[in-house]
Structure 1
Amino acid sequence: MIIFGLDLGNKQTKLFSTKTIGNGDNKVEGKVLPSHFLYYDDLGNAETSVFGNKLNIRKYKTEFDDEEYGWGPDLHKVHNNENLLDTIGFEKRYSTHEFKLLANFALGELAKDFEEATDNILAVNVVTGVPSDDFNESSVKDLIKVLNGRHNITIDDVSYTVDVKEVQVIPQSIGTVYNELLDNDGHINPEKEYYLEEETTVVDIGGGTILIDTLKNMNLASKTQYTTGIYTLYDMIIEKAKDKGNEYSSLTAYDLEVILREGNDDKGYYFKPNKNVTLDISDIVKRVRARYTRDLINKINKTIKSTSSTDTMLLTGGGANLVDRDEIVARYKFALFAENSETANSKGFFKYGKAVMNSDEEAAATVEE
């Protein structure tokens, strides 16, 4: 069975699967896309360009919506932020029409890498996760309802059919621990087997939330959620920048997300409202980041209170790339930052799905014997 790992975050959508290629090896399919999209006609008329549209944006259409939508990694390059359709939300997010569209786009995006999805129905199992406060019967049922069953998605006028046979939902932050513990085939990595017996605190800094979850022997022992994810950092930087003058008035969270992704402390951080103007916001970014990091440490201290029994603190999520890592490691000697933290959860979801599939196959084989 094909496994799809989906992390449908507030700011970014992370997707993971693998497929077998000609020589029998598995090809890793990891993708990061924004959790917002546009009506396709808001992209403008490509016929006015002699050279065509070279942006990595595709046209998506679902069977339950009459509209066509534009979605892709280069969506920010369209410079049409005011018309972006966002999916961020803290109440009933999984019941919204926008989220349902995003989930279907995500299934189609992974399915298009499988040739059988165009000629036949692609049967898959989906593993996904939800923030701590959403790991309840109501939210999980809403999410399963959106993902389960047959989906028809058209991408650039090519139709793909995905039949989701089973949906497994786990606490979002645990995905990173499974990514550390398991290999791509769902087997335990002997060098990371210690996670099975440790007390591990996962600090997942996402777009909309900060999750501080503690696992004991891989069982969720406590969970705390704050609605001050990395979008709060964006808002703080934008506010400070706009205090400096009107030239920053057009700076948005979408712009800032790209600026922080493409810049670093050595190169600096620059806002370019047009090709003729470059504004250095490096000092603002560093100052606000320092404050945001101190606030994060304060939240961790209030949540955990005593770290005497903590074996490992694992920081993950896209926001883990934006905080002051040195400050955190100086405070918590047992803190580790997940490799490729932005996609660690989705990859962990996939590995978890493989491990469950392996367990089911072993159980079936035992019964046959």
Structure 2
Amino acid sequence: MFTEHDLRELVEFVAPAPVLSLYLNTDPSEGNADFHRLRARSMLKDINLPQDVEAIHRYLDFEYPFTGGGVAIFSCAQEGFFRGIPLAVPVRNAIHVGDRPSVKILAGLLDSYGGYGVVLVDKQGARLFYFHMGTLVEQEGIMGEAIKQVKRGGASSFPGRRGGVAGRTRAVEEQIERNMKDTVEYATRFFEHHKVRRILIAGTDENVQQFRSHLPKSWLSLVVGTFPMSMTASHAEVLQRAMQVGNEAEKHREERLIEDLITFAAKGASAVVGLEDTLQAVNQGRVQTLVISEGFRKVGYRERETDFLTTQPSEEGINEGRYIKVYDVVELAVNHTLRSGGDVDVVMQAEKMEKAGNIGAFLRF
């Protein structure tokens, strides 16, 4: 299971020798293992790093199971470095050679698919799921005391409540309340243990609302959506629905994020947009969150001694050999941001983001 810790490990690896990075979409619906291996050979055929190319072919031939949506592979044979990372979700085909692993795509996948906590709740208990990168990692359950409904009465006898629910006595209401509080307490421990980044709540409207009413504000702020679901649903059904709701919520979140970024930048309020201004903020270690359009790349320059990034190097610096031309300066901006403790948010192509230059950043200061 690929985690934030693994991403940081890749970010910290910088080599004096070339590092070969390969992202391969292995979605079974697009072809079998032989088809994907052939595509990898086509992508690697012009790469003049025979040891690394051989290591990747060996991994694809004998280790990778071709059961998921994609794979990310990193190799630096001269430094004895190799990582093969199976992915449950599809990935864009890409290849990169540089002095460090290319992590932009992985950062985007973590941003989109990382850390989902799902709670499927009823009046007696809940089923809890932790999904990460499109895979069920763990599930648990809690069961409180059974709710015994009564036949008499047309409304709750719970004092102070107007109307009520038919068939519920005060004792029933109190038992539901105790169960719900226990469920929330158990769920928050589950969320905390797995360091969830997003929460989805499933069940009937009444149960979802009651669960939310007991959830602490710190966790309530992570709730991105709700959906109806039977307590007997399979984990595959829960995952499929959770990803649908989560993806829709992610689109809305990205729209708000882009709107805030552009507005704050226009006001000069701790945000910038556009490639060169963003690179300057990256160079200064000011970036709290780097926001980039998915697939955005640009040729740029890196200063040899300082790692300074720019698209506008001085003519003198170029003549003196101080700058190295790089195929994707955005990739290096991602690396620099993560190394300095910032976050990276990869958004799907949006017209407003494109007009802003496909890149921007919220700043620390």
- Asked if these proteins are the same fold (TM beyond 0.5), I'd say no
Q: Given the two structures, how large is their TM-score scaled by the length of structure 2?
A: 0.28
**Structure index of larger Rg:** 2
Q: Which is strand-richer, 1 or 2?
A: 1
Task: Say which structure, 1 or 2, has more relative contact order (CA 8 Å, 6+ apart).
Answer: 1
